[in-house]
């Protein structure tokens, strides 16, 4: 059986609620945006594409081995932006603060662990973010961009990411459904 899959970090429900609040504020300004359901937002480390279900265990083992000496990391969503930029936004996102350098290192370890299994390295540099919306209609975008620039966001609380998850993605007309297939802990003891 073939499945679409990706590797990501999940975060607390409290964070999802704040993301939803930001989306509600921006919805008034962006009628041509498909907003991601808060329960579907995650911090993607690697999109794998379509894999055979028989690969799940091998992927889980390889990534777990690659991150075995990594302890949990502290992260905090912060900052609103767009890809490729605010002049022609296609993806609306919230950035990340905290141990971003360590997160980037962990993402590189995931890439290294998966390369021997035939997964091609991402050519673009890793930019940790949470996608909250995708622009579908470019008309009347200026009011959305203006709102993004002036929106005052209540600060998010930090959270500790203590695992990486291999997800299955089922695309449906109502939006994607994500299922956790394999959990890989960030569990190394902290250095003295």
pLDDT in tens, 125-138: 999 999 999 999 87
Whole-number pLDDT of residue 171: 85
Q: Which residue intervals of 67-99 are DSSP H helices? A: none
Catalytic site residue 182?
no
Q: Average pLDDT, stretch 2-28?
A: 95
CA distances from 59 to 8, 82, 103, 118, 128 (A): 13, 31, 19, 11, 21
Q: Average pLDDT, stretch 66-91?
A: 95
Structural domains for the chain: 2-185 (3.90.1140.10)
| pLDDT exceeds 80 at position 140 | no
All residues at 6 or more sequence positions from 108 whose CB lies less than 8 Å from its CB, including other chains: 126
Catalytic site residue 129?
yes
Which entry of 18, 46, 109, 129 is annotated as an active-site residue? 129
**7 — pLDDT class (breaks 50, 70, 90):** very high
**191 — pLDDT class (breaks 50, 70, 90):** low
| pLDDT exceeds 90 at position 139 | no
Q: pLDDT (tens digit, 9 = 90+) per residue, 39-53?
A: 999 999 999 999 999
pTM of the model: 0.92
């Amino acid at each position: 059986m073939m499945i679409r899959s990706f590797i990501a970090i999940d975060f607390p429900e409290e964070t999802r609620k704040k993301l939803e609040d930001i989306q509600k504020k921006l919805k008034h300004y962006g009628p041509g945006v498909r907003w991601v359901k808060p329960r579907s937002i995650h911090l993607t480390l690697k999109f794998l594409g379509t894999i055979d279900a028989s690969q799940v265990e091998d992927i889980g083992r390889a990534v777990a081995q690659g991150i075995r000496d990594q302890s949990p990391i502290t992260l905090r969503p912060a900052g609103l932006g767009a890809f490729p930029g605010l002049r022609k936004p296609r993806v609306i996102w919230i950035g990340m603060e905290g141990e971003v350098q360590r997160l980037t290192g962990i993402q590189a370890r995931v890439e290294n662990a998966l390369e021997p299994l035939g997964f091609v390295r991402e050519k673009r540099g890793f930019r940790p973010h949470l996608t909250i919306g995708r622009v579908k209609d470019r008309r009347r975008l200026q009011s959305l961009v203006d709102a993004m620039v002036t929106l005052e966001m209540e600060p998010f609380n930090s959270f500790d990411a203590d695992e990486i998850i291999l997800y299955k993605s089922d695309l449906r007309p109502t939006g994607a459904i994500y299922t956790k297939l394999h959990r890989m802990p960030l569990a190394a003891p902290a250095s003295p």
